[in-house]
Amino acid sequence: MADNFLLAQELISGIQRPCRGGNVVLKLDMAKAYDRVSWPFLMQVLRRFGFGERWIDMIWRLVSNVWFSVIINGSPKGFFKSTRGLRQGDPISPALFVVGAEVLSRSLNALLGLRAFVPFKVPRGCPPITHLAYADDVIIFCSGLKASLQVILRTLDAYCSISGQQVNYHKSCFLVDRKLPLARKRAIARVTGFQERSFPIKYLGCPLYVGRAKLYFFSELCNLVSRRVLSWSGRLLSSGGKLVLIKSVLSSIPIHIMAASMVPKGVVCQLEQIFSSFLWGNSDFGPRFHWIKWAALTKPVEEGGAGLRSLQSIFDAFSLKLWWSFRCNTSLWASFMHAKYLSDRLPCQADVVRGQSGIWRRLVGVKSLADSHVRWVLGNGAVDFWHENWMGSGPLCDKVEIFGTHSVANFVDQGRWNIPMLRHWLPPAIVSSILGISPPVSQRPDEMVWDLTESGVFSIASAYQLVRQPAIRSAFSAAIWHALLPSKVSFFMLRLVAARLPVLETLRRFAVHGPSRCSCCEAPAEESLDHIFCNGDLPKRVWNSFTSGVGGRSCVSTVRHALAVWWLHPTSNPCLRLIFQFLPCLVCWHLWRARNLRVFEGKGISSHLIHLRVVGELRDILSSRFPCLAGHRLSWEELIGLASRCRRASTVRWVKWRTSPIPLPK
């Protein structure tokens, strides 16, 4: 799917090339494509493809044994049988439709053998492209000559007459270069019956355009994300729920476009601004203050972030994937790009000149980074000796001043390295390194591998870790994120550890001043994070209520010290280890709720009630992993005693077999 769009974008970037009649792009729209498929036509196509009669009979029974009824005023009326079409939603329907559409594809490819057909102008050496098709999305590339257009229309009419399909002339359109004469545009419209459209247009969910990528080309993407956010505005979502929605829903919307199209950085910034505003919410007076930068939230939880993904890093990772696909050269798009931009050069010698497409600039922009992690496993030694990383330490052309045009096999003589030839071209240190490598003696081709994965196969996960900027690992942040702990509690603890909670001590840094008095203590005291969660009267009573059963706690003066004391408490029991990890998070969470309840509603909560709530939540959280704790109303001492006798929780590990990229010796 991405290859189709990439090839279409590359062809359209050269639509201004001189050609008889001008270059024309026909975008077809099939009316009710699935519902119009002729069953006898489909069976005949399957028969011509070589499918057995038993299989064809099964497909016939599957597609023809369909009855329908119409619901009128809430009740079914009538019962009738269909005579054509494929059921949408059936898993086999897309495959059957593609089999039938192959007739149109082969008919359009056969036009290259006709003298009346003049193809779309492509650079010298590139394969001619007549059309691109993905299911019912068809784009035809041709010239604007009357004879060429008439041949295409006859082909379409013949296909529609036998397959049952019908071209929707109202939604179909043609696109040409904006400098094409008006007379030629009118002639094309008269012959085809299509309406003229201007770029950009949408193809396979991505905008097709000529020239540089503009921000307004991707306005539909930004509007889609904004509408999705507005649909959640009426729901009472916690910060943890918003994090889940951003990770699973919002971040996945632009993935398809980023995988193929050249997305401007302004679009990425706009999308991340929408994500951030949704996370922090709005007040009656406008957007709320963003307490933590988005760049900090996109770090992994081990590095002090919230585990969100940076869209710019995702875009760069997909750029590396495109370069990998280009180097593998296993698709029509890759072959076209090789012929257009490389000619007789190697991919590692690629460069950018003025006037080349944005996709090519995207590829060359990541070439150095990608090639530094691409190496070759020698087989027959056909790989380039000087420019490719077959040694694992980089190309040899970067280590010597004079080099030639050789393959690795040229330096092998009778199954051994040609030492005199190596010494003639290379210094002694490099020759010694080469002699430590087994010479290529196999008949299998050389294999390109990605050295960031164990299997040698490229993966987006490894590319993302490569392009992002790693930070220092944070022990505090790693301790507050756990699958059993609610996300809202983890996010709150992230703000607490980073000192990003709206207390008066923090607000002073933003020029917000007010009476700094703690409302939870009888004696007047200044409100600060350490006072609210550690040194105040209420937090002291709460923390002291949990000292029994686990030994005395040392005197602490800061909240970070209090957290570290619990998290670093030595124990080998898995249940107790989780208790010591979750307890300080839940205590701080309920202390913060108690503070807000007192400040905004004037209600107070006793330390005993907070103690009971923390113990109850601990029991409920741990019972999913340790069933022995479920169904009991336990006190703190009983919970500790029962947890100390819990056996190690059983874990299920999924194992996936991965084949080695290097064939094992027989």
CA dist 596 and 582 (Å) reads: 21
Q: What is the dihedral of CA 434, 437, 442, 444, to 10 degrees?
A: -90
Residue 474: its pLDDT value, please? 78
Is pLDDT of 291 > 90? Answer: no
Provide the pLDDT confidence category of residue 660 given band limits of 50, 70 and 90.
low
The residue-averaged pLDDT of 143-162 equals 93
Q: pTM score, two decimals?
A: 0.87
CA dist 310 and 299 (Å) reads: 8
Do the Cβ atoms of 85 and 42 come closer than 8 Å? Answer: no
Is pLDDT of 395 > 90? Answer: no
Helices (H), 29-130: 39-48, 53-64, 93-109
Is pLDDT of 625 > 90? Answer: no
Amino acid type, 100: G
**Spatial CA neighbour of 451 closest among 441, 442, 463:** 463
Residue 514: its pLDDT value, please? 65
**Residue 543: CB partners within 8 Å, gap ≥ 6?**
534, 553, 562, 587
**Residue 333: CB partners within 8 Å, gap ≥ 6?**
3, 4, 6, 7, 10, 325
CA dist 263 and 322 (Å) reads: 14
First vs last C-alpha separation in the chain: 38
The residue-averaged pLDDT of 279-292 equals 75
Q: Where is pLDDT greater, at 665 or 576?
A: 576
Do the Cβ atoms of 538 and 594 come closer than 8 Å? Answer: yes
Residue 648: its pLDDT value, please? 55
Structure tokens at 189: 């419209």
Q: What is the pLDDT of residues 190-233, one digit of tens each?
A: 999 999 999 999 988 899 999 888 999 999 999 999 999 999 88
Could you tell me where the beta strands, DSSP code E, fall in 98-225? 131-134, 137-143, 173-176, 195-196, 201-203, 206-208
Provide the pLDDT confidence category of residue 363 given band limits of 50, 70 and 90.
very high
Residue 639: its pLDDT value, please? 85
Q: What is the DSSP-derived secondary structure letter of residue 453?
A: S
CA dist 169 and 193 (Å) reads: 7
Burial annotation 93-108 (CB, 10 A radius, 16+ → b, else e)? beebbeebbebbbebb
User: Looking at the chain, how many residues does it have?
Assistant: 666
**Spatial CA neighbour of 487 closest among 241, 235, 237, 232:** 241
The residue-averaged pLDDT of 566-572 equals 84
**Burial of 184 (C-beta count, 10 Å sphere; 0-12/13-18/19+):** middle
Structure tokens at 128: 């001619």
Residue 651: its pLDDT value, please? 58
Do the Cβ atoms of 440 and 379 come closer than 8 Å? Answer: yes
Q: By 3-state DSSP, what share of the chain in percent is helix, strand and coil, each rounded to 5?
A: 50, 10, 40
Percentage above 90 pLDDT, the chain:
41
Provide the pLDDT confidence category of residue 553 given band limits of 50, 70 and 90.
low
Provide the pLDDT confidence category of residue 666 given band limits of 50, 70 and 90.
very low
Provide the pLDDT confidence category of residue 609 given band limits of 50, 70 and 90.
very high
Is pLDDT of 664 > 60? Answer: no
Do the Cβ atoms of 24 and 176 come closer than 8 Å? Answer: yes
Residue 659: its pLDDT value, please? 57
Provide the pLDDT confidence category of residue 283 given band limits of 50, 70 and 90.
low
Provide the pLDDT confidence category of residue 586 given band limits of 50, 70 and 90.
very high
Distances in whole angstroms, Cα of residue 594 to Cα of each of 13, 531, 555, 587: 62, 14, 23, 11
**Residue 62: CB partners within 8 Å, gap ≥ 6?**
92
**Burial of 117 (C-beta count, 10 Å sphere; 0-12/13-18/19+):** buried
Q: What is the DSSP-derived secondary structure letter of residue 444?
A: S
Residue 268: its pLDDT value, please? 94
Do the Cβ atoms of 529 and 506 come closer than 8 Å? Answer: yes
Provide the pLDDT confidence category of residue 554 given band limits of 50, 70 and 90.
low
CA dist 102 and 45 (Å) reads: 9
Helix (H) or strand (E) holding 365: helix 358-365
The residue-averaged pLDDT of 595-604 equals 85
CA dist 432 and 178 (Å) reads: 61
Question: Beta strand 195-196 with 173-176: parallel, antiparallel or unpaired?
Answer: parallel
Is pLDDT of 521 > 60? Answer: yes
**Spatial CA neighbour of 336 closest among 97, 127, 26, 177:** 127
Q: What is the pLDDT of residues 81-123, one digit of tens each?
A: 888 888 888 899 999 999 999 999 999 999 998 988 999 999 8
Question: Beta strand 75-81 with 131-134: parallel, antiparallel or unpaired?
Answer: unpaired
Residue 235: its pLDDT value, please? 80
Q: What is the DSSP-derived secondary structure letter of residue 450?
A: E
CA dist 192 and 468 (Å) reads: 50
Structure tokens at 347: 């991919």
Residue 109: its pLDDT value, please? 93
Structure tokens at 565: 């004391």
Residue 551: its pLDDT value, please? 59
CA dist 336 and 357 (Å) reads: 13
**Residue 282: CB partners within 8 Å, gap ≥ 6?**
288
Residue 549: its pLDDT value, please? 64
CA torsion through residues 263, 268, 274, 278, sign: positive
Q: What is the mean pLDDT of the chain?
A: 87
CA dist 595 and 585 (Å) reads: 15
CA dist 412 and 419 (Å) reads: 9
The residue-averaged pLDDT of 617-646 equals 83
CA dist 296 and 495 (Å) reads: 11
Q: What is the DSSP-derived secondary structure letter of residue 316?
A: H
Question: Beta strand 282-283 with 131-134: parallel, antiparallel or unpaired?
Answer: unpaired
Q: What is the pLDDT of residues 413-424, one digit of tens each?
A: 888 899 999 998
Is pLDDT of 564 > 90? Answer: no
**Burial of 190 (C-beta count, 10 Å sphere; 0-12/13-18/19+):** exposed
Residue 650: its pLDDT value, please? 54
Is pLDDT of 663 > 60? Answer: no
**Burial of 560 (C-beta count, 10 Å sphere; 0-12/13-18/19+):** middle
Distances in whole angstroms, Cα of residue 620 to Cα of each of 181, 582, 609, 651: 74, 12, 17, 19
